[in-house]
């Protein structure tokens, strides 16, 4: 249930913020496009309509530019030089990509980690230069709170399951763990 709430929040919050930003942009542009809006009939909210169209055109042109090689490279440079410097941005970005079903990158990959004499659900966060792995072991039933460990790769067993399935098992107090263990055993047998 918690994973469903978090997944919904990660969809609703950006949409809500985008709508707020769009309304702010429309309000700001209303004074600039006022003379152009006077060409429309008086009964129409011309300034708002022209502002909305202008915002949509800018968004469309930005999306179009990002689809080009130069635009993609430029966005990559902006992201690397500005956003990657914000603490937590790379990790949050990879987490939201996992929740959205995009498996770009290796961060937040579901795994079972050997902690003491047990296998525990975990997520691989990064691989260190010496081959060890940084893993996040979530608390049950709150998958986004927990502990961080650095373990040798022999003690971490990546799973071939979607991120959302692993989060679901954790948020349901371990119910469904046999499916996680089964994917590990299948991997060892191959």
> Per residue, what are the HEC states of 158-185?
ECCCCHHHHHHHHHCCCCCHHHHHHHHH
Q: What is the pLDDT of residue 190?
A: 43
Q: What is the pLDDT of residue 103?
A: 54
pTM above 0.75, yes or no: no
* Residues of the chain predicted below pLDDT 70: 1-4, 6-7, 9-11, 88, 90-92, 94-107, 184-190
Strands 133-138 and 118-127: antiparallel
CATH code for position 116: 2.30.30.140
Same domain, 117 and 163: yes
Cβ–Cβ under 8 Å, residues 157 and 113: yes
Q: What is the pLDDT of residue 187?
A: 45
Query: Domain range holding 37?
Result: 2-85
Whether 80 maps to a domain, the answer reads yes
The domain tally of the chain equals 2
Whether 99 maps to a domain, the answer reads no
Last residue of a domain, one of 42, 57, 85: 85
CA distances from 56 to 14, 15, 34, 52 (A): 17, 15, 17, 6
Last residue of a domain, one of 85, 113, 140: 85
Same domain, 59 and 135: no
Q: What is the pLDDT of residue 99?
A: 59
Same domain, 67 and 116: no
- Say how many C-beta atoms besides its own lie within 10 A of residue 36's C-beta: 13
């Amino acid at each position: 249930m918690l994973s469903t709430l978090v997944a919904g929040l990660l969809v609703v919050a950006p949409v809500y913020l985008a709508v707020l930003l769009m309304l702010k942009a429309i309000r700001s542009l209303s004074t600039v496009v006022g003379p152009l809006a006077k060409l429309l009939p008086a009964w129409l909210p011309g300034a708002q309509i022209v502002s909305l169209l202008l915002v949509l055109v800018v968004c469309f042109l930005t999306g179009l530019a990002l689809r080009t090689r130069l635009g993609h490279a430029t966005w990559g440079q902006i992201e690397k030089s500005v956003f990657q410097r914000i603490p937590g941005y790379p990790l949050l970005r990879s987490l939201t990509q996992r929740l959205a079903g995009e498996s770009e990158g290796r961060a937040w990959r579901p795994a079972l980690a050997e902690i003491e004499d047990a296998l525990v659900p975990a997520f691989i966060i990064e691989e260190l230069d010496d081959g060890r792995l940084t893993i996040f072991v979530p608390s049950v039933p709150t998958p986004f709170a927990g502990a961080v460990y650095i373990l040798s790769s022999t003690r971490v067993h990546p799973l071939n399951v979607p991120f959302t399935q692993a989060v679901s098992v954790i948020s349901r107090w371990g119910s469904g763990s046999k499916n996680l263990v089964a994917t590990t055993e299948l991997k060892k047998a191959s």
